[in-house]
Structure 1
């Protein structure tokens, strides 16, 4: 499928009304972004700028796009995952809001990359990425577009890792802010958002009872912490696997069993990878798993489960439920892969709740505004979200939640800024 000469490419424009209702519903849970949108519409800090965004096309993302548009930006959007698009939301953005949208749930690999190319045809001044696929295509295949790009943002851990590798090798063409590194992003989005939405996806896909099951979490970063705690809350016996000794120790002291995946593979009923690496669940693990084991991934790419090895081992592959593929092995054991090994919280559910994406996307909007004002001062590197933006997002979220906090007195300020007083 080609997107040439198309202003948008969505599944069904007739879904626009349904999508608009979803966008409005999410907006009710995104008060921080709404405050930013209101200010943007008055100040127009992005006037005359073109932004190409490669994000999960959800109702929450739609509210971010409308905030950028309200700030004066000309926006194009494509999906950052073939299974993460809400087709109704995509239709609403294209048909009702005039945002160039290239996203169809279930699109094949060729269509996915043609949509990335269409977003770059927008000739962006700023990029907004989730996984760095857009940035990678720009640097690898569309280098003629680099001179026009002033800066960008990156949403997720996997993308930040890729971008830092580019910066270290001296090939990154423009400055990018790692939104994922903001405290008001990873401490909340990664932990609470991933924890809840991943279990939501697993339960929707399988309808299994988690209580009493052995649930294996691969990786104990912020996403793994959230997932392990939520699975434990559902009554599961949680095992954590790790390669980092500090994180493994933390998981053990948080009350989880910790062991190598080779041992966990024999015990687990449900497995979920959240590492950002490749082949975390591999052939040797499939060989020892229980009959009926469930395999899911909540890392950005579907490389965490070695699906090629599983295909090679299987004598039969069939869909047994929506978002569930059953792999029957030569010894008659059955392993079940959810959402084609892609992000299960988006492939089988709706992704993170709007209330947590409110903070992540507030960071995105304010980081783009910061880039628009300061890009000439920045080198071609990966930057953290400015501390003042992080604190402002937290302040606005507390305000929206009607939570008050203390302020330091002058005496306390003096004490913290002095060294003379001790015991």
Structure 2
């Protein structure tokens, strides 16, 4: 290949292409955007560095950006999330430089981040803010040429807002995660289904009758709790936010501190975006055979060094399961190295929800490019007009119609004179 890349095996390319084509059936919104991009070329010549989970769905986003005229380089946003056949297909069949290997070590991960930056970049697509952080810490000479960026996930948006609050963020970034057609669907339905899917693939345990502890009741936690209850599990929620805890109670879930939940849980799922959610004091109280997994972006929610320190022995129970033998002869089972379990032990979100998430990405790139120089450094929401257009396209693709306001209703909503 003329272009540089680092993938596992180009011999996997044909299998990857077949899986990418299968995902296309569930991504009609992005397909419509791609068709328009092919005609109008709104991204002509734009140099894009993308740090995303390298999956079949991401392949369609990258193809869409390329159709719009962009030059895209792609690396993985998580060491365990890469689908190697998809990475090979993008290189072999699309000519896109991809730097991603499932199971890559930390050194390789950061080398791949450097590789997508190349000798210059104009736009970043990030999932977790690692690319943006690298640019601001080690590659600042590239910052003047960057027009903007997008961020896919909650954790990344939190980091970006912290950068903006400190006045260090040097270019505008759209928080794709916060679009209604992203977080209300991707975070809730996508994370909910894919997390349960990953636990079942990794363990083959029966969820019915199990006590599942969900740490965090944001949109992702809501989705996980709902799907776990649907499988017949008894779900307990832990929270640090009083409002979210109250929501969980009103939704019918018991709420308690993690120290209390640790004694009764069979399966623990962290989905908070914070550090040290499961710690040594919790491990010391857990049942023999407890299963621990994380559905947050970074592998910091479960204190793995503390688990390692408490272990008298460690072995692989089966693929994606590390069994830690701890005090009292108990066994604690960690899934996917404590990384994003839905991508580490399964395939991530269903294509149908990623269709909307990546439609937000594609349209946000077009929107920012059309306003080059008008947006100051900072974190911006997805424009409501784009959010609503994506919802409209999704409904149309599903063959559904909705009502429209009558002129009288529009006048009523725009007035203030009418009373009781």
Looking at structure 2, the residues matched to 323 and 124 of structure 1 have their Cα atoms a distance apart, in angstroms, of 36
Match of 1:187 in 2: 184
Corresponding residue number in structure 2 for 1:118: 115
Query: 2:303 — aligned with what?
Result: 306
The match for 2:241 is 244
CA distance in 2, matches of 1:240, 1:339: 22
2-structure distance, mates of 1:262, 1:321: 28
SS at match of 1:196: helix
Structural mapping, 1:18-97, within 5 Å: 18-97=15-94
Cα distance in 2 for partners of 1:63, 1:135 equals 23
CA contact (8 A) 1:326 1:334 kept: yes
Match of 1:178 among 172, 175, 179: 175
Q: 1:331 is paired with a residue of what secondary structure?
A: helix
- Residue 344 (structure 1) aligned with residue 350 (structure 2): no
Listed as ranges, the matches of 1:332-371 within 5 Å are 332-371=329-368
The answer on whether the counterparts of 2:3 and 2:96 sit within 8 Å (CA) in structure 1 is no
The answer to whether the Cα contact below 8 Å between 1:152 and 1:368 also exists between their aligned partners in 2 is: yes
User: Which deviations, in whole Å up to 9, do the C-alpha atoms of 1:279-311 show, x marking residues without a partner?
Assistant: 100000000000000000000000000000000
Query: Do the aligned partners of residues 203 and 9 (structure 1) sit closer, same or farther apart at CA in structure 2, a change above 3 Å counting?
Result: same
Of residues 151, 154, 157, the one that matches 1:157 is 154
2:394 is the counterpart of 1:397: yes
Q: Does 1:204 align with 2:201?
A: yes
- Distance in 1 between the 2:327 and 2:281 partners? 15
Partners of 1:217 and 1:272 within 8 A in 2: yes
Measure, in 2, the Cα distance between the counterparts of 1:30 and 1:144: 38
Q: Secondary structure at the match of 2:235?
A: strand
Deviation of 1:6 after TM superposition, in Å, equals 6.9
- 1:388 and 1:309 map into 2 onto residues whose CA distance is 47
Structure-2-length-normalised TM-score: 0.99
Deviation, structure 1 residue 122: 5.1
- Give the C-alpha shift of residue 330 in structure 1: 2.8
The whole-number CA distance in structure 1 between the counterparts of 2:287 and 2:363 is 48
Structure 2: unaligned runs, 5 residues or longer: none
Any idea what the Cα deviations from partners look like across 1:41-80, whole Å, max 9, x if unmatched? Answer: 0000000110000000000000000000000000000000
What's the CA shift for 1:335?
0.1
Instruction: Tell me the secondary structure at the aligned position of residue 310 of structure 1.
Output: helix
| Corresponding position of 1:146 | 143
CA distance in 1: counterparts of 2:419 and 2:235, whole angstroms: 45
How many residue pairs get matched? 419
1:261 aligns with 2:258: yes
User: How does the TM-score come out when normalised to structure 1?
Assistant: 0.98
Residues 50 and 122, structure 1, Cα contact 8 Å, conserved in 2: no
Deviation at 1:422, TM superposition (A): 1.1
User: Cα RMSD over matched residues?
Assistant: 0.8
Three-state SS of the structure 2 residue aligned to 1:374 is coil
Confirm or deny that 1:277 pairs with 2:237: no
Q: Which residue of 2 aligns with 1:315?
A: 312
8 Å Cα contact 2:3-2:95 kept in structure 1: no
The alpha-carbon deviation at position 248 of structure 1 amounts to 0.2
Aligned to 1:234: 231
Q: Look up the SS of the partner of 2:325 in the other structure.
A: strand
Q: Is contact 1:175-1:375 (8 Å) kept?
A: no
2:366 corresponds to 1:407: no
Q: Structure 1 regions of 5+ residues with no counterpart?
A: none
Q: Distance in 1 between matches of 2:336 and 2:320?
A: 5
CA contact (8 A) 1:316 1:327 kept: yes
